[in-house]
Amino acid sequence: MKKRGPASIDVAKLAGVSRSAVSRTFTPNTYVSPETRAKVLAAAEMLGYRPNAIARSLSKQSSGLVGVICSDLTNPFYAELLERLSMALQKRGIGILLLVGDASRMDDLLERMLSYQVDGILLPASKLTSKLAVSLNASGRPVVLVNHQLLDGGVSSVGGDNYAGGIVVADMLVAAGYRRIGYISGPEDTSSALDRGRGLQDGLARHGLPLLMRASGEDSRDVTMAVMRQFMNRAEPPDAVFCANDLMALAAMEVAKLEFGRNVPDGMGIVGYDNTLLARSGLHRLTTVDQNLDEMAEQAVAMLVEKLAGARAETVEHVKIAPRLVPGATTR
Tell whether 86 is covered by a domain: yes
DSSP string, 176-202: TT--SEEEEES-TTSHHHHHHHHHHHH
pLDDT given for residue 59 in this prediction: 47
Tell whether 57 is covered by a domain: no
Stated pTM of the model: 0.81
Tell whether 41 is covered by a domain: yes
Tell whether 58 is covered by a domain: no
Same domain membership, residue 134 and residue 41: no
Give the model's confidence band at 103: pLDDT under 50 very low, under 70 low, under 90 confident, else very high.
low
What CATH number is given to the structural domain containing 46?
1.10.260.40
Same domain membership, residue 45 and residue 82: no
Same domain membership, residue 171 and residue 286: yes
* Number of residues in the chain: 332
Overall domain count for the chain: 3
Tell whether 328 is covered by a domain: no
Is the predicted pLDDT of residue 58 greater than 50, yes or no? no
Tell whether 278 is covered by a domain: yes
Average pLDDT value for residue range 37-54: 79
Same domain membership, residue 297 and residue 184: no
Percent above pLDDT 90 for the chain: 54
Same domain membership, residue 266 and residue 310: no
Q: E strand or H helix at 117, and its extent?
A: none
Same domain membership, residue 229 and residue 133: no
Give the C-alpha separation, 144 to 122, whole Å. 5
What does the CA dihedral 159, 160, 166, 169 come to, rounded to 10 degrees? -150
What CATH number is given to the structural domain containing 193?
3.40.50.2300
Same domain membership, residue 272 and residue 286: yes
pLDDT digits (tens, 9 = 90+) for 113-133: 877 878 899 988 666 665 666
Structural domain range at position 124:
63-159+293-322
Tell whether 330 is covered by a domain: no
